[in-house]
């Protein structure tokens, strides 16, 4: 069974702090996506990483794909209350269907 | 920015009734999906649709469920004989191809009473 494990599961931090969310698997992924979901809304695609070792930046968010393409991380610098939400990684490995990670619920306190 | 549109945003139905959830995927996307999310739980895959047929379905997607692309733009999920446990947010998504990220709609909240 293919799994994408995210850690931590929950994170509550103060505004201005930095944080990193991890997405790990034992399988190699051809690409990985990161999404943010707010309550009552659908997940919104943030980024796609394709190449092992790739780093992409989206304002205060930095995404990295592991060299072996089995893991990815999302780093947020100087978190703001607007960053609050559920962060999901997702991807497909080989011929398996697309799967989502277990999710990281982030709360940034003002 | 192209969007995936879902209607209605909220549907309340009596147990045992049939509901149809509607989606308009992004026009040049080829793959279409339905997911559901029970309150507080993870997003669960239901079905994927490509080239006018189901390409993959989960164990959740049993005979109670069906999907259809009745014309060139709409993609529907039909739930027959709804049960209380079908209450959830149902998300439609589309993608241009395999390995690409998904664009999700804002969901339909289904409440079965």
Q: Which domain holds residue A49?
A: 5-109
- B50 interfaces chain A, CB cutoff of 8 Å: no
Distance from CA of A28 to the nearest CA of B (A): 13
pLDDT-derived band of residue A86, with 50, 70 and 90 as boundaries?
A: very high
Residue A87: name the closest of A24, A14, A35, A10 by CA: A35
Indicate the average pLDDT of chain A: 92
What length does chain A have? 110
Q: Which domain holds residue B49?
A: 5-97
Higher pLDDT, A76 or A98: A76
Number of domains in chain A: 1
> Can you give the pLDDT at residue B1?
76
Show the tokens assigned to B45.
Answer: 């895959």
- For A71-97, letters b (16+ CB in 10 Å) and e give bbbbbbeebeeebbbbbbbbbbbeeeb
B19: domain CATH number is 2.60.40.10
pLDDT of chain B along its 113 residues, tens only?
779 999 999 999 999 999 999 999 999 999 999 999 998 788 888 999 999 999 989 999 999 999 999 887 899 999 999 999 999 999 999 999 877 788 999 999 999 99
pLDDT in tens, A34-84: 999 988 888 899 999 999 999 999 999 999 999 999 999 999 999 999 999
Judge whether B107 lies within some domain: no
pLDDT-derived band of residue A2, with 50, 70 and 90 as boundaries?
A: low
A42: domain CATH number is 2.60.40.10
Number of other residues whose CB lies within 10 A of the CB of residue A40:
11
Judge whether B113 lies within some domain: no
- B109 interfaces chain A, CB cutoff of 8 Å: yes
d(CA A102, CA A98): 13
> Can you give the pLDDT at residue B25?
96
Q: Which residue of A has its CA nearest to B55?
A: A97
Judge whether B109 lies within some domain: no
């Amino acid at each position: 069974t293919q799994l994408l494990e995210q850690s931590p599961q929950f994170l509550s931090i103060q505004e201005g702090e930095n944080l990193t969310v991890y997405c790990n698997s034992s399988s190699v992924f051809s690409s990985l996506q990161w999404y943010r979901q707010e309550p009552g809304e659908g997940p919104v695609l943030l980024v796609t990483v394709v190449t092992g070792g790739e780093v992409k930046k989206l304002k205060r968010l930095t995404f990295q794909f592991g060299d072996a393409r089995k893991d990815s991380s999302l780093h947020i610098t100087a978190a703001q209350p607007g960053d609050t939400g559920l962060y999901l990684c997702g991807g497909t490995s080989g011929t398996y269907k697309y799967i989502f990670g277990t999710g990281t619920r982030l709360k940034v306190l003002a | 920015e192209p969007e995936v549109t879902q209607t209605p945003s909220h549907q309340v139905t009596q147990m045992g009734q049939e509901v149809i959830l509607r989606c308009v995927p992004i026009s040049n996307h080829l793959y279409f999906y339905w997911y559901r999310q029970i309150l507080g739980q993870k997003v669960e895959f239901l079905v994927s649709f490509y080239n006018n047929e189901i390409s993959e379905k989960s164990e959740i997607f049993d005979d109670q469920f069906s999907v259809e692309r009745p014309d060139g733009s709409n993609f529907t999920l039909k739930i027959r004989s709804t049960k209380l446990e079908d209450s959830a947010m149902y998300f439609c998504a589309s993608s241009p191809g395999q390995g690409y990220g998904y664009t999700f709609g804002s969901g339909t909240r289904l409440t079965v009473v």
